Structure 1
Amino acid sequence: MAADPLDPLRRSLGRLPNARRRLLRAFQPTAAGGLRPEGAGAIPLLNLASNDYLGLSSHPRLQEAACAAIASGGVGAGASRLVCGSRPVHSELETRLAAWLGRERVLLFPSGFQANIAAVAALADRHSLVLADRLIHHSLLVGVQASGAQLRRFPHNDLAALDRLLGEARASSAERRLVVLSESLFSMEGSSPDLPALSALCQQHSALLLIDEAHALGVLGPGGRGLAHGLEGVHLVSGTFGKAFGSGGAFLATGDLLGDWLLQRSGAFRYSTALAPPLAAAALAALDLLEETPDLGSKLLERAERWRTSLAAADWPLVAGQGPILPLLVGEDDRALDLQRHLETEGLLSVAIRPPTVPAGTARLRLVLCRDLPPGTLEQLLEALARWR
């Protein structure tokens, strides 16, 4: 009798430690940026885990825009953009985003994961060498695999190491396509590279540069336009609407040549149903708000700096950064889970991040500061952390 073809998966799951098993939990949003876990007797929690940095997902203007799109054209687009799925709201959002970001072309995608795969595939092929920051998002690594390119990784934000690798690669081949991948705000670290120096380095070595701005847009850079805004040498920017924009979906922003290449050659764009029009309409409403109140992100950064200073004063080691992501490094998986459970008893939600999302031995709680957290949240957090210790 033939062996069960699922046995390798069964054995692999059996070896997974309990502290690294993932569980799905459902939450019901409540007032003042809170969440109530599903289940009898569950208490509402202040949300320190969301990427809704500016609290726009519940903004009345985004809700009204999404509802109006549903009323006028239904929920889904019904087809890919190249068949009959394009709607006026898609074109308007792409045009407005391109102008806001100072780019010639924007294309929308249903998800950030998909956009990143498309971005890498547009820049690299099996003859290319991709040099990637060791902590880049998994979606970018999947994109490298799909492209067939050779991959080399450099230590996190270590531009001297990248310079050496680029120099070696260019010395061995003057014509080989070199592609560099990084992020403007790393989602599990809260850290950022020196983007002007990174861009200059890529120009020096004739390398293409892709920057994932998913967690920076709306918060960092002039008017929330991201840290790559206005930089020469950044060939492609990926961004999402599911974070500071409070909606869903993603985009790639680039020049005319790469934009046309994506339109003509990207399977990830060609063979996907278009971004749901209500999500595009909500993202457009979020862009309106960002243009009307360009200091939304800067005000959040001021508050985040107060949090960083207070946590450092309480002897919590923090990664250097300037954004609203503040990871508390606790080391082992069990300790991170224990701290997560403790904070929930104190009315705070912050999820333990464990390998393989982060390297072994660096499990953490990823604190995220959002604009709609009520006053006194920092004091509540500091008292809860002190009791855990």
Structure 2
Amino acid sequence: MSKWDATLGEELRQLKKEGRYRPLTVWSGGSGTRMELDGRSYIQMSSNNYLGLTDHPALKKAAIDAVDRYGVGSGSVRTITGTLDIHRELELRLAEFKGTEAALVFQSGFTTNQGVLASILGPEDVVISDELNHASIIDGIRLTKAARKIYAHKDMEQLEAVLKESAGFKKRLVVTDGVFSMDGDIAPLPQIVELCEKYDAFVYVDDAHASGVLGKNGKGSTDHFGLHGRVHIQVGTLSKAVGAVGGYVACDQVLKDYLIHKARPFLFSTSQTPAVAATCLAAIEVLKQSGDLIDKLWDNASYFRAKVQELGFDTGASETPIVPVIAGSPADTMTFSDMMREEGIFAQGIVYPTVALDKGRLRFIVTAKHTRGELDETIAALKKCGEKLNLIR
């Protein structure tokens, strides 16, 4: 027995016993509403490809053209020789799209949160975080020496109490997801902004699941609520609805300049490949004309959620294209997921510690590209499996 087997094997065996062990699924072909796994086609209900842009002709052409012009890599970190004109252009277009003075691109949304939070907060500061914020926010906070306070999910009375208690800190930063990734509910951003203005605190919103989903042409939660100029830091992703990969912060120019010199993921990671930057630029242009796509996304989401609720399933607090179907324990959740797969539907089970131990769920993500037939087929499978598991009667 190897040392790794002795030290890590027992933990893996425990995960299997609890029903929380899951091997990687290896798909054939690209992201779409139907994908092939082990020679079988499945309706894909777990992809973040909200608008179906991963195979958009304009994005593919932009990537190919960029490879022809620049090659496949950037050759360096941004601060040496890795800032190409296409990176500068992307940041200018992102800032224009988000309505901010500047934007800075990172390698992922996860590293954006880590880089920004770890750079701007010190021991004289306090960060105040919603209890259901994404893991990248939690990890970013852990990298700081700031005091840390948590408020109950979307509880504005508790947030105000924490703000009052934190009067002695140099900087107070309130951090929230725009759309919460596990429950699909929207942050009460207007109330958060009002409280932060009242108590002289900064507002930080992570729009990973709001980018391309909320706001005009998918500009995000700040635009959705008409709060331009009142949200200090907007983090977004270039994956998910945008269809590529990467993350960015939309902010004031002074913060961008500061992060260029302080944010470690930015300083010590090779910059985006030219093809990725070009793809993101093309995606922004598509988003500017995306009214019909976003309307279809929301029509599909509303239809699917209503039908699932009619069957009697618990969909939690969902109000976006993220529609959780609560199953309960990790073991029950994974059994549910496996049964749905037998019916030709792929819906990944999400269990503890990502969600509470008794709140395991299948997280369905509806896209603009799902047909009504695919949604109906998924609903029929949910009914069949839900009845077998006594989740509905």
**Change in 2 beyond 3 A, CA 1:308/1:14:** closer
Identical positions, percent? 31
Tell me the residue number matched to 2:70: 73
CA contact (8 A) 2:20 2:334 kept: no
The code of the aligned residue for 2:126 comes to L
Say yes or no: does 1:101 pair with 2:98: yes
SS at match of 1:290: helix
CA shift digits 1:5-64 (9 cap, x unpaired) = 985444444443431123111001379621111x3xx31001100000000001111111
Tell me the residue number matched to 2:89: 92
Tell me the residue number matched to 1:55: 52
Tell me the residue number matched to 2:28: 28
The code of the aligned residue for 2:174 comes to V
User: Of 195, 211, 215, which aligns to 1:217?
Assistant: 211
Say yes or no: does 1:16 pair with 2:10: no
CA contact (8 A) 1:123 1:208 kept: no
CA shift digits 1:46-96 (9 cap, x unpaired) = 110000000000111111111111111111111011100111111111101
The code of the aligned residue for 1:209 comes to V
Q: CA deviation at 1:117?
A: 0.4
Tell me the residue number matched to 2:281: 284
Structural RMSD (CA): 1.8
Tell me the residue number matched to 2:109: 112
TM, length-normalised to structure 1? 0.93
Q: Hey, what's the Cα distance between the residues in 1 that align with 2:317 and 2:360?
A: 17
CA shift digits 1:294-330 (9 cap, x unpaired) = 3422331122111111111111112234321000011
Q: CA deviation at 1:155?
A: 1.1
Q: How does 1:161-176 map to 2 (within 5 A)?
A: 161-170=158-167, 173=168, 175-176=169-170
**Change in 2 beyond 3 A, CA 1:51/1:30:** closer
The code of the aligned residue for 1:183 comes to D
**Change in 2 beyond 3 A, CA 1:364/1:57:** same
User: Of 268, 272, 275, which aligns to 1:271?
Assistant: 268
TM, length-normalised to structure 2? 0.92
Tell me the residue number matched to 2:309: 312
CA contact (8 A) 1:30 1:36 kept: no
CA contact (8 A) 1:219 1:296 kept: no
Q: How does 1:1-389 map to 2 (within 5 A)?
A: 7-18=6-17, 19-29=19-29, 33-37=33-37, 39=38, 42-170=39-167, 173=168, 175-229=169-223, 230-231=226-227, 232-388=229-385, 389=387
**Change in 2 beyond 3 A, CA 1:320/1:298:** farther
Q: Hey, what's the Cα distance between the residues in 1 that align with 2:186 and 2:11?
A: 35
**Change in 2 beyond 3 A, CA 1:150/1:11:** farther
CA shift digits 1:218-273 (9 cap, x unpaired) = 11112210011352431111111110011111111101221111112222211111
Unaligned stretches of 5+ in structure 1?
Answer: none
Q: Hey, what's the Cα distance between the residues in 1 that align with 2:182 and 2:95?
A: 28
Q: CA deviation at 1:185?
A: 0.6
The code of the aligned residue for 2:190 comes to P
The code of the aligned residue for 2:15 comes to L
